[in-house]
Homo-oligomer: A and B are copies of this chain.
Amino acid sequence: MRPSTRPALVGVLAVALAFTAGVARAADPLPSWNDGPAKHAIVTFVAEVTKAGSPGFVPAPERIATFDNDGTLWAEQPLYFQLLFALDRVKALAPQHPKWKDQEPFASLLRGDVKGALAGGEKAIAEIVMVTHAGMTTAEFERVVKDWLATARHPKTGKPYTEMVYQPMLELLAYLRESGFKTFIVSGGGIEFMRPWTERVYGIPPEQVVGSSIKTKFEVRDGQPVLVRLPAIEFVDDKAGKPVGINSHIGRRPIAAFGNSDGDREMLEWTQAGGGARLMMLVHHDDAERENAYGPDSKIGTFSDALMAEAKQQGWIVISMKKDWKAVFPPNP
């Protein structure tokens, strides 16, 4: 082959590859999903709401899809990742707080006894969250979150937390957006803990993240306006708080909602109550081999028997991680 023909050949090959990739995507927008009821429900729903003239057609601006984060888009074991962040921060901040050595829940934590520290229940967790999440500006907190994500590793897999995301859900997010949906996170997690990385990892920009929050206050410090994070809860975006958060931040009712635990129940009920074509799905962690199997008895991501019963009664689709997902996590980079 003469060298001069190579660029042309490369061009032809590139077009051929692009075409093949295009066909593959058109043929299967969800390659990490096994053929089964969950995948079928998604594809059928999207076809229905996007086809002009169909009884279930929904204009693009009203195609709102909401996703829980912990346990739905990324993993949540052995503890919510934001709690692992807080524990790491306590250790990092300890030198500035010498009294913590004799003060619970910090003393246990600094001795490496996480279980002992969390034995104080919600009060202990609230204390840990406040000292690690408040008392700085929003810009400072964003920097702390980014630095932590850059270096912290999951205790079991050794991966960065932002790689502990579910590949089938990444495909679902992309598929919905290609179908004219706006995708939102609606999580019990901290809104400012998520925003620094959701655009990069999920393609969800900060203005489409709804979460729990602490109060902030506008101040001018040395002539510079800042927002200071205060040690007081502003909003808990969980359970009955989720429809409230959706209404406050989005102002429209979703037509599709995705969760994995009792905390998502009201979000799915609120979504379904809108009438018309609707899709409600719950990720069920039933895959001990590839991820985790936990359900009604887990304190993290409780999927109660009552939720399972409601799902069956209401026609919500329960996604079996084991059966419905071909892969759980993205391939190693």
Is B227 within 8 A of A138, CB to CB? no
Nearest CB in chain B to that of A247: its residue: B227
Does chain B have a CB within 8 A of A295?
no
- Contact status B248-A207, CB under 8 Å: no
- Is A199 within 8 A of B61, CB to CB? yes
- What is the CA–CA distance of A249 and B213 in the complex, to the nearest angstrom? 11
Interface residues of A in 59-112 (CB under 8 A from B): 61, 64
B248 touches A191 (CB 8 A): yes
A195 at the binding interface (Cβ < 8 Å): yes
- Tell yes or no: A220 within 8 A of B by CB: yes
A191-B251, A213-B248 given; A61·B205 CB < 8 A: yes
Q: How far is the CB of A189 from chain B (nearest CB, A)?
A: 14
Contact partner of A217 (CB less than 8 A), chosen from B205, B244, B252, is B244
Number of copies: 2
Query: Which bracket fits the contact residues of A?
Result: 35 or more
Residue A153 CB within 8 A of the other chain: no
Contacting residue for A207 out of B206, B241, B251, B273, CB 8 A: B251
Instruction: Check if A247 sits within 8 Å of B216, measured CB to CB.
Output: yes
What are 20 A-B interface contacts by the 8 Å CB criterion? A182-B207, A191-B248, A195-B251, A206-B251, A206-B252, A207-B208, A207-B249, A207-B252, A213-B248, A216-B247, A217-B240, A217-B244, A218-B241, A218-B244, A224-B273, A225-B243, A225-B270, A227-B243, A227-B247, A249-B249
